[in-house]
Amino acid sequence: MVGWHDPDENRRWIQENKCRHLVDKRMSVRQAVEKFVQDGNFIAFGGFGHIRIPMALVYEIIRQHKRDLVLAGKTAVHDADLLIGAGCISQVEVAYAFGHELRGLSPAGRRAVESGQVRVVGEISNAGYQWRFLAAMMGIPFIPTRTMLGSDTLEYSSCKVVRDPWSGKPVCLVPAAYPDVAIFHVPRCDPYGNAQINGILVEDFELARASRRVLISTEEIIDPEVIQNEPSRTVIPYYLVDAVCEVPFGAHPTNMPYLYFFDEEHIAEWLDLSQTPQGTDEYFERYVYSVQDFEEYLERVGGVRKLNYLRRVEQFKAPMIAPWRKTK
Amino acid sequence: MPESTRPYSDTEMMACAAARLLEDRRSVLVGTGLPVVAAVLAQRTHAPQLLIIFEAGGIGPQVPELPISVGQSRTFHKASAASSMHDVMSALQAGYVDFGFLGGAMIDQYGNINTTVIGEWEKPTARLPGSGGANDVGSLCQRTIIIIRQDRRRFVERVNFITTPGYLSGPGARERAGLPEGTGPYRVITQLGVYGFDAQTKQMELVSLHPGVTREDIQINSSFEILIPAQILVNERPTAQEQAILHEIDPLGISIGK
C-alpha cells in the first residue's frame, strides 16, 4: 500500500510542519522542486489527463533528475508519461495510466511497465483513488464505498471488504492516501497560496488537503484583495500551500480551461518521438535539458504566435486539429 | 424521415444503435469517443432532455464538438455545473445516474470487462490503462451499455482480469459482492448487432442484428456461445439525419471515421 499513514502520525506531522500564518511563498519553479520534491517521494499531480497539468514543474522535476518517485496514477496521462519516459518514476498505483485517451496508448509508459523498469504496485478505480484522498483530508483511516466490489481491480488494490454493521451488506473500504507532495496549476493565486480555479475541480479539492506538501504554479499572482472579494471561489486556502510559482502558460501543452487549448502538434510530437527510447531522449534534450527555463521552452514550442493560436482554439475562434490521428 | 442511400460505416451503425438506446429525461455518464458522440446524437434527436455527465465534473453541458479528454473545457461548455469527481461519483453511488457507457479490450459472457492487462498481472504481455472511471461506472450506474468491436479475441469465455464487473460469475453474484441492487450490464453494442443478458442466467443473448449480418456471423465472432432467441429484430440503418449529426459532432472523424 502506498501513501498510508496512521492518522495520529499524520496529525503530528501537520502540527509540526504546516504553518498557519500568512507567509509570502513566492519562489521560482527551480527552488520549489529543489526544496519540496525529494527522491523516493509519493507524488500526485492536480488536473486530469491532459487538463490543467502543472507541466512547468513536471519539466523541472525531469531537469533536476529526481529519481524513484512513486506516482499516484489518478488518471495520470501526460505528466505520468513524461516522468516515466525520463526515468523519474519507479512505481505507480494505477487508476488510469499508460494511455492518452482518444490519442491512443502511451508508448513510453507501456515500454517501461512491460520491461519491468516501472512497477505497478496496485490497481484502483478513479472514484476509489479520489476517495482515498477524501479519507486523508478528513483525517480518518478509510472511507466505505460501494464501488469495485467483486472485481479484480479490488483484488489487486489496497482496499478491504467488510460487512456494513447496519445493513449487513459488504462494503469496500478505501484507505486514506497522503501524498508527500502534490502539484497543481491554477489560473490565479495570491502570494500566500490562496488559489482559485475556473471550471471543473476534478479531485483537486481533496488532493490538496490530503497532501503533506502542496506546490502551486499559477497563470498569474494576484493581490490578496482579489481573493478576499470573492472568497467563495477559493479552492485551495493558503495554509495548505508551501510554494507559489508564477508561470504563464504553465500547463502547456495541456488544456487550461477558458485560457488555452491542448497543443495537439506538440503532443503528437511527443507521441511520435516516444515510440523509441532514442526519440524519447531526443525529446527531453530538445525541450528540457537544452533550455534554461519554461520561458525558453515556450519560445521553442512556437512562442507568442503559437500561444495566441491556442487561445483562439480554446475560444472556438480556430478549429481543433488531430495530428496524432492514425490514417485508417 | 427520408430513406438514406448514403453509404454508412459499421462505426456509424454502432453510434446510432447506442444513441437509440438512450431515453429522454434520463441521465447518462459518458466517456470520450463513441459514448459522447452517441449521447449527443440522442440529445439532438429523440432525447433533448438527456442529462449528460462526465466523471471529472462536467454536468449537463451542451457539448459543442467531440472532446478528446474527459476533463477538457468542452465537457462543461454551457453546463449546469462544473463540479468535481467526488460530486459526480457520489451521484453515481447514490443512484442518480441511469445509464453508463463502457468500452473495453475484452468481454466475457457475463459482461465482465478487462482493460487492465493482457497476460499475467505481475508480468504483463501488454499493459493497458486500467480501470479509470470504468469500474465505478460498471459498479454504480443503473444500466451500463458496452460498446466494443466483436471478434473471437475480444469475446472470450472468461476475461483474465475483471477490471469492471458485469454479472461476475452469474445470477445474484453482483448483489452477493455488495454492488447496488438491480444494477449491471444492459446492452452490448458491436459492429454486428446489439446484445442483452438473459434475465435468469445473466448470459449474453442476441437482441438485434445490424442490416446484412447473419446469426452465423454472431457465433463465428465469439469464443463463447451467445444465446440466440427465436425472434430477432434487425436494426434500422443510420438515417441521413443521424449521419449528418454524427459528422457535425465529430467533424475530424476521430471517433466516427471520415
For the stretch B20-68, pLDDT in tens is 999 999 999 999 899 999 999 999 999 999 999 999 999 999 999 999 9
Contacts of B147 in chain A (CB under 8 A): none
Level-2 CATH architecture, domain B10-249? 3-Layer(aba) Sandwich (3.40)
**Domain positions in chain A:** 11-127+178-314
Separation in Å, CA of B25 to nearest CA in chain A? 24
CA distances to A48, A75, A104, A222, B131 from B57, rounded to whole Å, are 11, 14, 23, 26, 18
Q: Give, for A328, the enclosing helix (H) or strand (E).
A: none
Contacts of A312 in chain B (CB under 8 A): none
Closest CA in chain A for residue B258:
A328
Separation in Å, CA of B192 to nearest CA in chain A? 20
- Give the Cα separation of A226 and B8 in Å (integer): 54
> Which pLDDT belongs to residue B3?
65
Nearest CB partner across the interface for B70, out of A101, A149, A258:
A101
Q: Residues of chain B with pLDDT > 90: what percent?
A: 93
Could you read off the pLDDT of B110-128 as tens digits, one per residue? Answer: 999 999 999 999 989 999 9
> What sections of A86-125 are H helices per DSSP?
107-114
Q: Where are the beta strands (DSSP E) in A76-179?
A: 89-94, 119-123, 142-145, 160-163, 170-175
Can you tell me the mean pLDDT for B126-136? 95
pLDDT band per the 50, 70, 90 thresholds, residue B2: low
Task: Taking each helix axis as running N to C, give the angle between helix B10-21 and helix B240-249, from 0 to 180 degrees, rounded to the nearest 10.
Answer: 100
Q: DSSP readout, B95-133?
A: T---EEEE--SEE-TT--EE-SEEE-SSSEEEE----TT
> Which pLDDT belongs to residue A297?
98
pLDDT band per the 50, 70, 90 thresholds, residue B139: very high
Low-confidence ranges of chain A (pLDDT < 70): 326-328
Q: Are strands B117-119 and B124-127 parallel, antiparallel or unpaired?
A: antiparallel
Q: DSSP readout, A250-275?
A: TTTTSBBTTTB---HHHHHHHHHHTT
Any CB–CB contact under 8 A between A12 and chain B?
no
Could you read off the pLDDT of B154-197 as tens digits, one per residue? Answer: 999 999 999 999 999 999 999 999 999 999 999 999 999 999 99
* Mean pLDDT of the residues in chain B: 96
Beta-carbon count within 10 A of A164 CB: 12
- Give the Cα separation of A193 and B74 in Å (integer): 28
- Is the CB of B179 less than 8 angstroms away from the CB of A146? yes
Separation in Å, CA of B125 to nearest CA in chain A? 7
> Which pLDDT belongs to residue A102?
86
- Give the Cα separation of A261 and A315 in Å (integer): 8
Nearest CB partner across the interface for B135, out of A153, A319, A321:
A153
Nearest to A170 by CA among B141, B176, B162: B176
- Give the Cα separation of A312 and B69 in Å (integer): 19
Q: Residues of chain B with pLDDT > 70: what percent?
A: 99
- Record: fold of A11-127+178-314: Glutaconate Coenzyme A-transferase (3.40.1080)
* Interface predicted TM-score (ipTM) of this complex, two decimals: 0.96
Query: Which residue of A125, A173, A198, A317 is the best one to mutate when testing the B interface, meaning the one whose CB has the most B CBs within 10 A?
Result: A125
**Domain positions in chain B:** 10-249
Closest CA in chain B for residue A113:
B127
> Which pLDDT belongs to residue B40?
97
- Is the CB of B179 less than 8 angstroms away from the CB of A114? no
Beta-carbon count within 10 A of A148 CB: 32
In sequence order, what are the residues at sequence separation of 6 or more whose Cβ sits closer than 8 angstroms to the Cβ of residue A19? Answer: A239
Could you read off the pLDDT of A119-163 as tens digits, one per residue? Answer: 999 999 999 999 999 999 999 999 999 999 999 999 999 999 999
